[in-house]
Structure 1
Amino acid sequence: MRLDYQILWFEDQQNNVEEVAKGLSTRLSRLGFNLKVQWIKPGSDLNNTFGNIKNIVNNFDLILLDYDLGKDSFNGADIAKKLRRSNLLTDIIFYSSASPSNLRRFMFDHHVDGVFCINRNNLQGESFEIIQNRIRKILDINHMRGIVMEVVSEFDESISDLTKNLESKIDCSEKRKEISSFIQEKITTLGSKNVSQISNIINNESGYMFEELINHRACSSFIKYEVLKRMLEDLEDKYNITNILEVLKKYNEDVIAPRNELAHVKPTEEKGKTVFKVGDKLYGENEFKLLRQNLLNHRDNFNDLKNLLINGNLEEVQRE
């Protein structure tokens, strides 16, 4: 599990449970997770239905399975049996208008173990309790540190792609030199040992290589962020990106600083709970929930910016 909580949902009448899905999405967002649902409408027969999903079922955090799938030849219990016989360990919630005791009887008759049985009327509340309990069990603070490291690496790649896209649209050599000098200044401040390499890249007689420059090991996450912010500040008056830029300005405080703090600190005990302690600052359950929410916010912001570039709303940058 990362920032996305993924559900594989078997249901032949999706409209009947869409409100349940919306409710789960709202509750998960409060915990700092984004809900993704892949809906499965049963095929013509059991083997066809199972064949379409057998290679992806292990990618999901939870499977929701209706009993009545609108088929005479098979039902949800048959699919549950197929899933368990394929050695799937993922949690399964089996629901219908029948009572939980009757649903458990269906599972027993099909020789299926380890399935949660819920009446449709209680599906949202009881499903969320199961989800929340599972999250609490697996999401220890070391796991959360791993999520932060992985997502920030993903953000680094997004920032690199965005800066390369923006730089490719600049046809003014002076502006290119200005951006290059800005990168050189940032890298010089953080470590003079790489300055000669950076200078060689910029002054390379065979051609200036922005990609090589932005991907240089000395061009840290913070410098990449600063470069992107600098490029976008030049565009703020010309394009409607003030909101995007305002979110981006919080990136160091919301993402880079916590990532750097969590990269090296060790867990400790505080009031009977395991936390990360950095000076007087604690990272516990509440702090990680806020951090996950911030990560989702910045991921959405990068996606919005990418969509602007791809859709052509930033087809050209200001030229001198």
Structure 2
Amino acid sequence: MNLEFGILWIEDEYSPAEEEDLREAATNAGFVANIRNSLDGEEIEELAKEQRCYHPFDFILLDLNLAKGVKGNALAPRIRQLFPSTPILFYSGSCSEDELRQHMAHDKIEGVFCAHRTTFLKRASEIISNLAQSLNRLSGMRGLAMEVVAKTDSLCKEVVVSLHERGLVEGFDEKLAKEVVKYAQRTVDEFPKIDGLKAQLENRAVDSMKLFKVFRDSLKAAIRDMEPGEEQDRLRHLSERTRGFRDDVLECRNTLGHARETKTENGWEICDSDGKVIMTVHDFPNHRKNFLENLQAIREIHQFFVPLEAD
């Protein structure tokens, strides 16, 4: 599970507004849309090979009338054969929904949704939302949180090293050493005072916390020393967007890592070790949005500083 939602769009004419609506539907479900367009499905064999290796497509949109006179209903059987479990939305502006269903029934193609062109974006949004809900399990969210933290750890490290080596900030190696020693000393002092094995097991060092602190502090120092202008303003904005990283990503990661899910009449609930409900799967889209926003901001900061090292 990751933050991308892959869409294979087999269509020769679509508007930027339609594409934006699709992207918005993915965003509302907590994902970023990765849309690949095929005008007539000519490369469907290559795309299927890619699907078998990397599974980049979660959803397929198929128009009836394609480029070079290709008909979507003629292409559909091969698509279903090559993509046996991927949901397909078949649509057209020249045929009714019932007529499209008859096309699919004639060739005995299963697992295909149908819609008229005027409503296919609404139907696509509903399908994307439903597919996202199927991913609302603790194991998937736990893994996603771990993945996001691992990626941001790597990006943060490279930014800090780049800032330090290029002389844009000074003294953060000493500050990091003091932070680590301070944390370690506090652990040494406080751990023996913790009462009971259960409480001791709950006490853990989170290296990502210390890393993010030095990342934020060094970034602020670099921004403060920059010449006023658009770049400084942009970096301040990006820094502000990562303000909630500890709570929105790191603490969420930690919470999910020690939580368990309970099946209830209202769906899966996420509980702590004492059985107290701390979130439900309905909270997952917002968490995914927070993961994505923080990751995108840190990626842009990374692109701003680290590539300059190669110049």
TM bin, normalised by shorter chain, reads 0.7 to 0.9
Q: CA RMSD in A?
A: 3.0
State the match for 2:256 in structure 1. Answer: 262
Confirm or deny that 1:25 pairs with 2:18: no
Q: Which moved more, 1:3-12 or 1:147-156?
A: 147-156
- Provide the C-alpha distance between the structure 1 equivalents of 2:116 and 2:263, rounded to a whole number of angstroms: 41
State the match for 2:280 in structure 1. Answer: 284
State the match for 1:91 in structure 2. Answer: 87
One-letter amino acid of the structure 1 residue matched with residue 112 of structure 2: V
For residues 251-273 of structure 1, the C-alpha deviation after alignment (integer angstroms, 9 at most, x for no partner) is 11221111112111222467854
- Provide the C-alpha distance between the structure 1 equivalents of 2:2 and 2:163, rounded to a whole number of angstroms: 29
Pairwise mapping of residues 74-89 of structure 1 onto structure 2 (< 5 A)?
74-86=70-82, 88-89=84-85
- Provide the C-alpha distance between the structure 1 equivalents of 2:38 and 2:294, rounded to a whole number of angstroms: 30
Q: Secondary structure at the match of 1:309?
A: helix
Confirm or deny that 1:53 pairs with 2:47: yes
Q: CA deviation at 1:281?
A: 6.8
- Provide the C-alpha distance between the structure 2 equivalents of 1:87 and 1:49, rounded to a whole number of angstroms: 13
Q: Secondary structure at the match of 1:63?
A: strand
- Provide the C-alpha distance between the structure 1 equivalents of 2:241 and 2:14, rounded to a whole number of angstroms: 35
- Counting matched residue pairs gives 282
Q: CA deviation at 1:168?
A: 2.5
Q: RCO higher in 1 or 2 (8 Å CA, sep ≥ 6)?
A: 2
- Provide the C-alpha distance between the structure 2 equivalents of 1:164 and 1:219, rounded to a whole number of angstroms: 20
Q: Secondary structure at the match of 1:138?
A: coil
State the match for 2:37 in structure 1. Answer: 39
Q: CA deviation at 1:167?
A: 2.4
- Provide the C-alpha distance between the structure 1 equivalents of 2:165 and 2:179, rounded to a whole number of angstroms: 21
Pairwise mapping of residues 132-281 of structure 1 onto structure 2 (< 5 A)?
132-170=129-167, 175=170, 178-191=171-184, 220-239=207-226, 240=232, 241-268=235-262, 272-278=266-272
Q: CA deviation at 1:310?
A: 5.2
One-letter amino acid of the structure 2 residue matched with residue 34 of structure 1: V
State the match for 1:211 in structure 2. Answer: none
- Provide the C-alpha distance between the structure 2 equivalents of 1:103 and 1:188, rounded to a whole number of angstroms: 67
State the match for 2:196 in structure 1. Answer: none
One-letter amino acid of the structure 2 residue matched with residue 33 of structure 1: F
Q: Which moved more, 1:2-11 or 1:264-273?
A: 264-273
- Provide the C-alpha distance between the structure 2 equivalents of 1:283 and 1:224, rounded to a whole number of angstroms: 27
- Provide the C-alpha distance between the structure 1 equivalents of 2:44 and 2:284, rounded to a whole number of angstroms: 37
Q: Secondary structure at the match of 1:21?
A: helix
Residues 252 and 219 of structure 1, relative CA distance in 2, 3 Å threshold: closer
Structure 1 gaps of 5+ residues are 196-217
Contact 2:9 2:62 in 1 (8 A): yes
**Percent sequence identity over aligned pairs:** 23
Q: Which moved more, 1:258-267 or 1:61-70?
A: 258-267
Q: CA deviation at 1:88?
A: 2.8
One-letter amino acid of the structure 2 residue matched with residue 86 of structure 1: L
For residues 25-69 of structure 1, the C-alpha deviation after alignment (integer angstroms, 9 at most, x for no partner) is 223323322222111122xxx6x4323422223321100011110
- Provide the C-alpha distance between the structure 2 equivalents of 1:87 and 1:35, rounded to a whole number of angstroms: 19
One-letter amino acid of the structure 2 residue matched with residue 75 of structure 1: K
One-letter amino acid of the structure 2 residue matched with residue 32 of structure 1: G
Q: CA deviation at 1:236?
A: 2.0
Structure 2 gaps of 5+ residues are 189-204, 227-231
Contact 1:91 1:114 in 2 (8 A): yes
Residues 137 and 245 of structure 1, relative CA distance in 2, 3 Å threshold: closer
